[in-house]
Structures are given as structure tokens and as C-alpha cells.
Amino acid sequence: GMAGPLRWLENCLRRTAGDREEDGVSHPVPLVPLSEENEDAMEDRRFRALLRQLGLRPPANEQESFWRIPAALTPQQLRRAAASIAHYSPDPPGSPKGLLEPPRCPQD
């Protein structure tokens, strides 16, 4: 599912927002998918549509292999984007969301 990659993306955005506030400088930040799950998500049409919607930039040319968080996005915009991911769930309800949820008691 997309839950893992969405969390990863949210973390990247929040981390970048924090860095930009501390440094007062903005550099484009490549989104480097370090897991196979994240790599698969980067190939996914819906995930890419979300990236675009959030203002992220696809690889500009053959030299670039990664999407980037543009330098122009402010910490506020990044946090808003991260918050909107929390509400975005392409996984249909009832799909496994990893091991973070406690097992539910069977309803009788």
C-alpha cells in the first residue's frame, strides 16, 4: 500500500521545513527513495500526481533521477503540504496499514 511512502514523504517535507527555518537558506532537496516500497511509489501514477499537487518537481533531465522539493517552497507551505498528506489516503479503507495499529477485537 501507499501508507509507508506517504509517511516517508510527509517526513521529508517536515524535515525540509525545519532545515529551512534553521538555516534561513533554501536548496532544492532530492526525494531519495531508500526502500523498495518508496521506489515503487515513485513509479505510481497517483503518487506522482500527489507530488505534483504538492508543488514538487519531477526530474528535469536525464542527469536527475529524483523528484525534488523546490527551493521556492517556504517552511509554511511545506508544513501545509505535509498536513494535507496526513488526510490523503489512496489506500481503500480496510487495507492493512502496517503494524502501527493495535489488533482490533473481533466484533461479535
Q: Tell me the residue range of the domain where 43 lies.
A: 3-86
Distance CA 53, CA 51 (A): 5
Q: Is residue 99 included in any domain, yes or no? A: no
41 by DSSP, 3-state: which?
helix
Q: Is residue 102 included in any domain, yes or no? A: no
Distance CA 15, CA 26 (A): 12
Q: Is residue 22 included in any domain, yes or no? A: yes
The model's pTM: 0.78
Distance CA 57, CA 93 (A): 29
φ and ψ of 57, to 5 deg = -115, 130
Please count the structural domains in the chain: 1
Residue 98 vs residues 5, 34, 82: alpha-carbon distances, Å:
12, 18, 20
Q: Indicate if the pLDDT at residue 19 is higher than 90.
A: yes
Q: What is the pLDDT of residues 33-49, one digit of tens each?
A: 999 999 999 999 999 99
Q: Is residue 108 included in any domain, yes or no? A: no
Q: What is the pLDDT of residues 48-101, one digit of tens each?
A: 999 999 999 999 888 889 999 999 999 999 999 999 997 776 555 554 444 444
Q: Is residue 35 included in any domain, yes or no? A: yes
